[in-house]
């Protein structure tokens, strides 16, 4: 039995809501002196400024309508770091964050000068209710970390990405 127009509209609206509630990102990794390191980023803006532990995450962002998760992950990596992925990313894991957003992560081996990131920016009213619009970088800082350092600083809901990377890289 065909769906009614109302049901089709609900289905299309649900798909758009799902896209808004879904993000994708890339966990870039490298080896230094035989030790695995991962690149994490700290978001920009006033809410993250004084936070460190629990504030670091993979470069990620929302899927645009019609965009696949891998396309969004590559686009967001480039927007947030100014860098380019040269290896083919492979599927890593998906997690649902505390706020309900589903994050699909991919991993790729590569290198990037963490001190030279060039992030896009966003605008928001700051201070709140001031009427003043200010611009902030999406990513304030990037840093290469060992898995031990990453576990101490990473957003708790994204910690499974580190476990998944370890499992995928085991011989």
Residue 13 banded pLDDT, cuts 50, 70, 90: very low
pLDDT of 166 above 70: yes
**pLDDT at residue 113 is higher than 50:** yes
Q: What is the mean pLDDT of the chain?
A: 89
Question: Would you state the pLDDT for residue 3?
Answer: 40
Q: Which two tokens stand for residue 154?
A: 């990473």
Domains of the chain: 9-169 (3.90.79.10)
The neighbour count for residue 109, using CB atoms within 10 Å, is 15
Confidence of residue 20 (pLDDT cuts 50, 70, 90): low
pLDDT tens, position by position, 82-97: 999 999 999 999 999 8
pLDDT in tens, 51-94: 889 999 999 999 999 999 999 999 999 999 999 999 999 999 99
Please report the pLDDT score of residue 11 as a whole number.
39
User: Residue 75: which residues within 8 A CB-CB, separation 6 or more?
Assistant: 61, 64, 67
* Residue 50 confidence (pLDDT): 84
Dump pLDDT digits (tens) for 115-138.
999 999 999 999 999 999 999 999
The mean pLDDT of 142-158, rounded to a whole number, is 97
* pLDDT the model gives residue 39: 98
Q: What was the pLDDT predicted at 52?
A: 85
Does position 9 have pLDDT exceeding 60, yes or no? no
Write down the pTM of the prediction: 0.85
């Amino acid at each position: 039995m065909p769906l009614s127009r109302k049901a089709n509209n609900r289905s299309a609206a649900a798909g758009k809501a799902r896209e808004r509630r879904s993000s994708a990102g890339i966990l870039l990794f490298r080896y230094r002196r035989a030790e695995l390191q991962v690149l994490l980023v700290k978001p920009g803006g006033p809410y993250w400024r004084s936070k460190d532990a629990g504030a670091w995450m993979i470069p990620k962002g929302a899927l645009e309508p019609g965009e696949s998760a891998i396309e969004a992950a590559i686009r967001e990596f480039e927007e947030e770091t100014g860098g380019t992925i040269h290896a083919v990313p492979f599927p890593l894991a998906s997690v649902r964050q505390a706020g309900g957003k589903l994050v699909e992560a991919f991993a790729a081996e590569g290198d990037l000068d963490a001190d030279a990131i060039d992030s896009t920016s966003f605008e928001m009213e700051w201070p709140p209710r001031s009427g003043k619009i200010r611009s902030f970088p999406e990513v304030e800082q990037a840093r290469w970390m060992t898995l031990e350092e990453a576990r101490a600083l990473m957003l708790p809901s994204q910690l499974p990405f580190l476990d998944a990377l370890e499992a995928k890289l085991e011989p």
